[in-house]
Amino acid sequence: MKKSIFLFIVLALSFQLHAQDIEYARKVLGKLTAKNFHGRGYLKKGDEKAAHYIARQFEKNNVQNLDSVYFQSYNFAINTFPGKIVVEIDDTKLNPGEDYVISCSSPTVDGTFTLAFLPDTIPTDSGFIQTINEHKNSGAFLISNYYPRKLYGKTFDGIEGIIILDKKTPGWHVSNGNKVQNTVWLKIKKTALPDDAKKISISATSLFIDEYKTQNVIGFVKGKKHPDRFIFFTAHYDHLGMMGNKTWFPGANDNGSGTAMVIDLARHFALSENQPDYSIAFVLFSGEEAGLHGSSYYANNPLFPLEQIRMLINLDMVGTGSEGITVVNGKAYQDVMNAFNKINEENNFLPEIKARGEACNSDHCPFYKKGVKSIFIYTRGKEHMEYHTIKDVDDNFPFTAYESLFGLLTKYVKEIR
């Protein structure tokens, strides 16, 4: 009888601990996606506010810092639209973020322009270039169903503006914002632009910031056996920020989810009973969306020598998981996949762990290129599909595999020899 009560208490306690982990992660996610962080981008000090919040979490949970700061400052160039943006089609005002996005490389624009529909039959980028050039100096905004991904946001001399039609709410990207181009590019939701539309009125003022000052946030926990060798958990905490003075992108899955998990891992390993054998660094990068700036800066200016990194695990978009996880670079590290699969089978954590080859699609990349053993994990599942839109919010956020992935990672760290 006594023994079973004891067992019950132990089970209840361990359940409570787990429940607290995800509760804590949800609390962090709620903060990161709140309006006062302005989408953690380059207007209204969004990323700086998020950085201070993360540092406060580290401090509260006894995660150590280097030379009494959690920040590594650096800067990069970025084009922004700090003021009001107005887009009207035939005098009907469109909703920013919902009906349209403006390319981050667009110049200041203010005026009314005729619209010209391009033929539906453009097959390739070179066909696109040819068709566009037939409209040189027409003064019109050209509308295309064809999306020339690689040309998007570039200058076309003699072309005022180009509109790409999108079937759904268009996604915004800021990775081309390191330079202001001469052509205005917009993506507009197809249903917001009638087939017989005649004119567009547009007003947007761009502000190019040469040296936008930002910061990575770094905390660490000292290892028992190998204090001079590090496991790195990384995630980018920045998101797209604001497009104009009203529209903001909360970035719940991208990458509030990964940020919350890295902070939660830091909180876990900072408890004396969980002290790891290796030292662990928890690094939250800024500037990812603008072009992997934070991770590139760190890899070029490491605070702990790169040779001391035993392994780097990057988390970016880990809010789903009903279909399992994918490990980028998993194909390069069979030992990691074997260990993951073994832990997964023993604990029944995830439906599948897929290995992928190399891909320079998140913050592991600058480290991998310098020879650091690096993987990037994201979750898979259709329970949260919003990507780079204003709808990537934390309401009813799934976090389907949160505890499973957290369990996999903490158990894996214990097994690293």
Q: Which of 149, 79, 163 is nearest to 113 (CA)?
A: 163
Nearer to Zn ion, 41 or 276 (CB): 41
CA distance 327 to 341: 12
Instruction: Find the shortest distance in angstroms from Cβ 254 to Zn ion.
Output: 4
Within 10 angstroms of residue 225's Cβ, the number of other Cβ atoms is 11
Instruction: Find the shortest distance in angstroms from Cβ 289 to Zn ion.
Output: 5
Sheet containing 71-80: order of strands = 71-80, 207-221, 278-285, 226-236, 309-315, 374-380, 324-328, 353-356
What is the phi-psi region of residue 329: left when phi exceeds 0, alpha when psi lies from -120 to 50, beta otherwise? Answer: left
Nearer to Zn ion, 193 or 315 (CB): 315
Give me the residue whose beta carbon is nearest to Zn ion: 254
Confirm if 165 and 188 have CB atoms less than 8 A apart.
yes
CA distance 16 to 326: 29
Nearer to Zn ion, 166 or 254 (CB): 254
CA 65 to chain centroid:
24
Nearer to Zn ion, 264 or 363 (CB): 363
Nearer to Zn ion, 87 or 290 (CB): 290
Instruction: Find the shortest distance in angstroms from Cβ 323 to Zn ion.
Output: 20
Instruction: Find the shortest distance in angstroms from Cβ 11 to Zn ion.
Output: 39
Instruction: Find the shortest distance in angstroms from Cβ 57 to Zn ion.
Output: 22
Residues across the chain: 417
Query: Six-digit token pair at 364?
Result: 């592991």
Instruction: Find the shortest distance in angstroms from Cβ 285 to Zn ion.
Output: 12
CA distance 320 to 388: 16
Q: Which amino acid is at 355?
A: A
Instruction: Find the shortest distance in angstroms from Cβ 101 to Zn ion.
Output: 14
CA distance 228 to 388: 38
Nearer to Zn ion, 160 or 254 (CB): 254
Instruction: Find the shortest distance in angstroms from Cβ 317 to Zn ion.
Output: 8
Q: Which amino acid is at 176?
A: N
Q: Which of 364, 353, 358 is nearest to 326 (CA)?
A: 353
Nearer to Zn ion, 290 or 311 (CB): 290
Within 10 angstroms of residue 185's Cβ, the number of other Cβ atoms is 24
* β-strand partners of 208: 79
Nearer to Zn ion, 254 or 386 (CB): 254
Nearer to Zn ion, 21 or 288 (CB): 288
Residues that bind Zn ion (CB under 5 A): 254
- How far, CA to CA in Å, does 19 sit from each of 16, 57, 60, 75, 78? 5, 19, 20, 39, 40
Instruction: Find the shortest distance in angstroms from Cβ 394 to Zn ion.
Output: 16
